[in-house]
Amino acid sequence: MTDDITLRLDRATAEDLYVALYESGEHIAAGAAIHEPSTDEVKRLGKLLQDLGHRLGRTCSPYCDQLI
Ligand SMILES: [Zn+2]
């Protein structure tokens, strides 16, 4: 039995994730600036983080009922 998880991303969320990881890496490695995300980016990445957390068995808030 595998312990893998699967997330399906739309293109906009995948692009946001790529940029967030790339900028984080450059920031850690060389102090590069991280751009301020747009409202839409924040919404997409917030939803991705919530979905990923649920798949990992984490609750996203004290009121989360996604793990039942
Ligand atoms: Zn939740």
Centre of ligand 1 to C-alpha 31, Å, is 33
Centre of ligand 1 to C-alpha 64, Å, is 4
Helix/strand/coil (H/E/C) assignment for every residue in the chain: CCCCCCCCCCHHHHHHHHHHHHHHHHHHHHCCCCCCCCHHHHHHHHHHHHHHHHHCCCCCCCCCCCCC
Query: Cα(64)–Cα(27) distance, rounded to whole angstroms?
Result: 32
pLDDT tens sequence across 19-32: 999 999 999 999 99
CB of 35 closer than 8 Å to CB of 23: yes
CB of 44 closer than 8 Å to CB of 13: yes
pLDDT tens sequence across 14-66: 999 999 999 999 999 999 999 999 999 999 999 999 999 999 999 888 888 88
Question: Can you give the residue ranges of every domain in the chain?
Answer: 11-55
Centre of ligand 1 to C-alpha 27, Å, is 29
Centre of ligand 1 to C-alpha 30, Å, is 34
